[in-house]
Amino acid sequence: MKLWTGRFSKEADQRTNDFNSSIQTDSRMYAQDIAGSIAHANMLGACGIISEEDRAQIAAGLEQIRRDIAAGELHIDPQAEDIHTFIEQTLTERIGEAGKRLHTGRSRNDQVATDIRLYLREECGVLSCMLEELRVALRVKAGEYKHAIMPGYTHMQRAQPVTLEAHFAAYREMLERDIGRIRDARARMNVSPLGSGALAGTTYPIDRAMTAEALGFDGVMPSTMDGVSDRDFCIELAAALSIVMLHLSRLSEEIILWCSWEFRFAELDDAFSTGSSIMPQKKNPDIAELVRGKSGRVFGNLTALLTLMKGLPLAYNKDMQEDKDAIFDAVDTVKLCLEAFIPMVRTMRFHPEVMRQAAAGGFINATDCADYLVGKGLPFRDAYQVTGKLVALCIERGQTLESLPLEEYQKISALFDKGLYDAISLENCVRRRGLL
């Protein structure tokens, strides 16, 4: 039986029931729904709104339902309208009249809002831990190749020498900001809407602070209308997760490039690669490619939430049932990506000799050559012009700045001496920048 059938003279069409149902999405929140209901029942009992006997029966009945679902002894009915209805009706079937008193002073509107916050609050902790795990994996991997020099790029052109550690340090900084954004989102979502009722609160003498404290919230939402209609916390978390995926996508793009024969900087472990059905030589970076592709899925969920909420008047509207599909999918997708991405990074192998050769062949110590002349008193713009001529000469002769004889340097500028080669050594270039 639907919770709202009293007003209606006939049963809803089955197509209405199917379209209206959210059980496939919100059933994952059964533990949070039960925790919220136990806190609500305990508060009702403490405030004298229901009897102590009813309170005890409700709390015990709900806890048993939670254990039975977790153990697989109670299966959630896929035909139920939603998880809230299923649990309340199961409770009433088990304990009788007392179960019908659970919903006193509460609406599904504030119940749903509470459940989502409780669920996402837990997921924020999981996501933060996984991102920190990836940060550690990047630091450990860079430590395995502590002295590996590679070209740094701008405009996808070799620019200046860096180290693998410096490259991965940039991503560790991004991930640290990601963790901060998720923690910020968690802090803002950690306020209780329970007690908001349908939108205007309740006439029962409830204690909202009691349920908030019991559920680990930092406080209550002052506006009951905001309490049931706010989904900023979903949007904020989806935005934070979109930035996470942006960062993972950028790193994925680099890993894909590094593993190509054109770069050959790195190689993925066989356990985290795939092959081709027709080309036996192929070793494809599918995990990185899928992460890059799934970023669009998470971005789409953020767009869906923004579009969902942008035109809704206060307070609750049924449109908001769509919020869970979007934010749950965003959370699931990021976790799925990280579960595969972290071990992929841990097992990657790099080829320092290939990276070093690429760094040497790209004239990425040209700035250091110019700076050497500046140290001799030549203005930077003049030093820039001299170095540009030297690069052109090296290209013409198939040499590098390191292999070009000193006499060729001195033909262009008398300021050059043997100290030049120390100045343009790739190791010294990165060491002077604090990268080695």
At residue 102's C-alpha, the angle toward residues 85 and 2, to 5°, is 30
- The 8 Å CB, 24+ separation contacts for 94-100 are 94/61, 94/64, 94/65, 95/57, 95/58, 95/61, 98/50, 98/53, 98/54, 98/57, 98/58, 98/61, 99/57, 99/58, 99/61
- For the chain, the distance separating the N- and C-terminal CA atoms, rounded to the nearest angstrom, is 70
E-assigned strand segments in 118-236 = 149-154, 157-163
Catalytic residue list = 155, 276
Residue 46 corresponds to which amino acid?
Answer: A
Q: Nearest 5°: phi and psi at 207? A: -120, 95
Nearest to 153 by CA among 386, 432, 358: 358
Give the contacts of 37 (CB within 8 A, at least 6 positions apart): 58, 62, 87, 88, 102, 111
